[in-house]
Amino acid sequence: MKNKVLANKKIFIRTFGCQMNVRDSQVISGLLVKDGFELTDDYLTAQVILLNTCSVRQHAEERVFSLIGEYMRRRDQSPSPNREVPLIGILGCMAKNYAQGIFERAPLVDFAVGPDDIDKVPAIIKRLILDKEDVTALNGSHLFSRKIWEVDGGQRPEEVYHTNFHGADKCAYIVISEGCSNFCSYCIVPHVRGRLRHRRYKDILMEIEEAIALGISSVLLLGQNVNAYKDGEINFIKLLTLVDKLNGLSDFTFMTSHPKDASVDLFKAMATLKKLKKDLHLPLQSGSDKILKLMKRGYNKKMYLELAQNYRRIVRGGRLSTDIIVGFPTETSADFKETFDFFKMIKFDSAFIFKYSPRPNTAAFNMPDDVLKEEKERRHALMLNLQKSILAAACFIFFFFSHAYALNIDRVKVYYLTQDYKGAIQEGNRLIAEDRYSSELYYFLGLSYLKEGQYIRAAESFKVVINNLKESRLKEEARIGLADTYLLRGDYNNAKNIYNELLAANPSTKFKDQIQQRLTGIESGNEGAYSVQVGSFANIDNARNLVKKLNSSGYPAYFEERTQVSRKSYRVRVGKLNTRREAEELANRLSREGHPTKIFPE
């Protein structure tokens, strides 16, 4: 009876916030898949909706609360025959921050699970589903009202990191430490994620080797303060050295570094380790010593300048990025000018620029938030314009439907262009939560969702460009993207209509060949249109090894060579299938066996 009730339960997960949250969602997904649940990108068909949340800024929290109501409204308006009221779970930092108070603010929420309790998510969902079925059986349409919260856990069990589930096939996110003990006065992280705890270095290396065995050759080491890593005699630099020696790894990087723990020795390691990327994210936060002291950052402007100069001297060709907060309590015009001038002097390659947001439980929450909202917005705009002026000459070439475009670099585009689509989605949603968006941002967000197979969300992003952003030069591209989402979902009539409308409106469109190719595929019945990708490699031998392994397990695997901006890559795919349903069934089987999967049209 229990297995029947739990069979085919679909779970939708949406992630907010930092890369640590992205990895947490992957961990949770792996645990759920291992327990027999099915993941879906369509919340309208899900029996469980999980929101993995961020509490760093109030705006991010407000967006989560508003989305809960929005999801339920859209579900009620959907023509889908599945009218079952889903369970809703709040995970991560908001769950820890609000605990049982989350149910007062959002009565539709059924359970809340903090960052250190994510291993309990599958059991909680099972318990709630079974209890809900029991109540329905006894009372007909009686609504289920039980609430569960788990927010007081300690260090996570090590096994949660070894489900071999990674959301992206190009880069594995590897947590090396959890929590933070810095207690910067504005930061809520230590209060919601706890004090700093380090994973054992052998477990970290094992997890990376497991990812390599899956065909993943790129790694991002994660921690709130990676520089402080320590496991016995193994410090952060020694850990980097051990990772660099792993066979099958093509490259790796890390984030985030704290300036008070950064050193010349770290920069020397970055310069000499062959597989370690040379980019460094080193949050400054303010260029005013007075504000840095109030923030409890543990360094001053002179110390930071020396670090930046040493980094650029030692790590040739590296890119330096940073974080800036404007409008911190008591920040005067003179304090802001110091930050502005310091930023201008350093010439950061990129930066995340935030308006200060008071957070409960932090030391700064008790300080008067005395910088007016309008002044925060003015300073925020000045910093953004300064960043634009520094980056104005920097361009990046990318290829879309065989046409090249030059674009100013920003992080969302860089993530997309390097095929880190999860990263692009995460960063794009973070910028939108900060009210920093444009037609290009929504367009690249749509492309990233498309690459990840999240077609409904891709369509929503393209529709924003088409309908809501009047000053957009990307409407034609967005309409093609929207049509592609219909094509990939098997809705050939809608796809065909949009493609034909585009050709009728602009017969000489530069996308004519690509549109006609898609229309030809639709008219020919789309035979053999789908395959499941399970790996992408820079090394042909890695691709061949995975194909051999899959073939020996009975899967019709093969690889194809792809050239992009003079670089070759090798995609391993399985099957040539006529319908998307067949492809989804194959992807589910491969996913249950630990393979990262994406569905592609042939």
Identify residue 359 by its one-letter amino acid code: R
Question: pLDDT above 70 covers what percent of the chain?
Answer: 84
Q: What is the pLDDT of residues 114-157, one digit of tens each?
A: 999 999 999 999 999 887 766 554 454 444 457 888 888 777 89
The Cβ-side half-sphere exposure at 438, using a 13 Å CA radius, reads 10
Report whether pLDDT(395) > 60.
Answer: no
CA angle, corner 392, sides to 390 and 393, nearest 5? 100
Across the beta sheet with 320-326, the strand order is 280-281, 320-326, 350-355
Report whether pLDDT(342) > 90.
Answer: yes
Report whether pLDDT(3) > 60.
Answer: no
Residue 99 vs residue 338, higher pLDDT: 338
For the ranges 8-17, 357-366, 391-400, 573-582, which has the lowest average pLDDT? Answer: 391-400
The candidate with the shortest Cα–Cα distance to 35, out of 13, 7, 4, is 7
Q: What is the pLDDT of residues 63-82, one digit of tens each?
A: 888 888 877 777 676 665 55
pTM: 0.67
For 279-292, give the DSSP string. Answer: -EE---B-S-HHHH
Read off the pLDDT band of 31 (50, 70, 90). very high
User: H helices of 297-363, where?
Assistant: 301-314, 333-346
The pair of structure tokens assigned to 264 is 């010349």
For the ranges 17-26, 37-46, 116-125, 351-360, which has the lowest average pLDDT? Answer: 37-46
SS3 454: coil
Segment 191-195 shows an average pLDDT of 91
Give the distance, in angstroms, between the CA of residue 231 and the centroid of all CA atoms in the same chain.
28
Query: Which residue reads 């229309």 in tokens?
Result: 519
According to the model, what pLDDT value does residue 542 have?
79
The pair of structure tokens assigned to 284 is 């400054």
Length of the chain: 602
Residue 166 vs residue 282, higher pLDDT: 282
Are residues 55 and 188 in contact, defined by beta-carbon separation less than 8 angstroms? yes
Q: Is the bond preceding 256 in cis, omega lying within 30 degrees of 0?
A: yes
Residue 213 vs residue 4, higher pLDDT: 213
The Cβ-side half-sphere exposure at 133, using a 13 Å CA radius, reads 14
Residues 6+ apart with CB under 8 A from 279: 253, 318, 319, 320, 321
Q: What is the pLDDT of residues 219-272, one digit of tens each?
A: 999 999 999 999 999 999 999 999 999 999 999 999 889 999 999 999 999 999
Report whether pLDDT(382) > 90.
Answer: yes
Identify residue 383 by its one-letter amino acid code: M
For the ranges 10-24, 118-132, 150-164, 506-520, which has the lowest average pLDDT? Answer: 506-520
Rounded Cα distance between 172 and 306, Å, is 32
The pair of structure tokens assigned to 299 is 């360094």
Are residues 451 and 463 in contact, defined by beta-carbon separation less than 8 angstroms? no
